[in-house]
Amino acid sequence: MNAARQKSYFVDEEKHFLRTLLYFDIFDYPLTVDEIARYSTAASSFSILPTLDNLVSQKILYQFQNFYTVQNDPKLVPRRMKGNALAEKKMKTAKFFTHIVSLFPFVRAVMLSGSISKGYMDDKSDIDYFIITAENRLWLVRTALALFRRVFLFNSGKSLCTNYFIDTKNLEIKDKNIFTAIEFNTLEPMIGSSVIEDFRSANQWAVSYLPNLRFKKTVINDKNHRIKTLFERILSFQAFDRFNLWLMNKTISYWKRRYGSELDPNDFEVAFRSTIGVSKSHPQFFQKRILARHSLKIREFEIQHGIDLSS
């Protein structure tokens, strides 16, 4: 099929599916039919299988077992299955540390993020946690968890990587793009079901990127802990409001000294977004890197196949 015919052949649904597969191809991660529908930027109320089969017949896509990919590489499937198995195995560790985190005063909800929330891990992967705290206590929680990791885990983030916190008054994610939408959609709820529902309600913007958005259910039931409640009463005095603010300022100053020269000011603002109710510390600025790679993959794919994937 010549390039001109290919350009006219591609309809909106196919473009959306290809853009989705190209996004996950950044991670060498083939998708099932259900996953393509879930992460597609087009609403899908119909069977997408015939569309995918058409793309496979044109060698635009490749199918190996029940997985689809833009790469003609069957080794991607055993690689994915191995990573899926490791992520499942690591869930036991994740549940254990989720319970530990939930015991800290002012922790209101815990979700898994990063690779484990997508059901895939390799030997280099950390277990990442997205934590929601009570208002005006985020930096107390963050500092306490950092000290816990330093003392009891020798500062290793393999089992407890806590790099994103928000509080109950700052539930809306400020950065809105396909990367943050997918990260939001794949968060694995662990504890704090009512707070997590509020969090989801505050981020309905994600539906504009992922109209087939479906959420996972909370894994662990919420429980009240008497000792935690007692510590929260002790730490509820106004003096700890000032201490919380002091911890924020000290942490931001440290990040600026350590990473300020590696990122321009605008990038630093996003990668280390820090307010009284938000703490994000992403030194590698993964968001920017992934969005740039996605755009590049789309352009390269368009040139390779003589097609236009713009909506």
**In a shared domain, residues 60 and 197:** no
Same domain assignment for residues 218 and 258: yes
Q: Give pLDDT, residue 298.
A: 97
Which pLDDT value is given to residue 7?
43
* 242 located within any domain: yes
User: 258 CB contacts (<8 Å, ≥6 apart)?
Assistant: none
Beta strands in the chain (DSSP E): 62-64, 67-69, 107-113, 128-133, 161-167, 188-191, 274-275, 278-280
- What is the domain count for the chain? 2
Closest-CA residue to 114 (of 162, 172, 68): 162
**Residue 156 and residue 101 in one domain:** yes
Looking at the domain assignment, is residue 147 inside a domain? yes
Residue spans of the chain under pLDDT 70: 1-10, 45, 220-221, 311
pLDDT at 3: 42
Within a domain: 201: yes
- Long-range Cβ contact pairs of 222-227 (< 8 A, separation 24 or more): 222/191, 222/192, 222/193, 222/194, 225/102, 225/103, 227/103
pLDDT score, position 6: 44
Q: Quick check: pTM over 0.85?
A: yes
98 and 52 share a domain? no
Quote the tokens at residue 20.
């989705």
Measured between alpha carbons, how far is 183 from 63 in angstroms, rounded to an integer? 26
pLDDT score for 43: 82
**What residues make up the domain containing 159?**
89-280
- The pLDDT score that the predictor gives to residue 42 is 85
Please state, in angstroms and rounded to a whole number, the distance separating the CA atoms of residues 88 and 120: 8
- 185 with 241, same domain: the answer is yes
The pLDDT value recorded for residue 45 is: 62
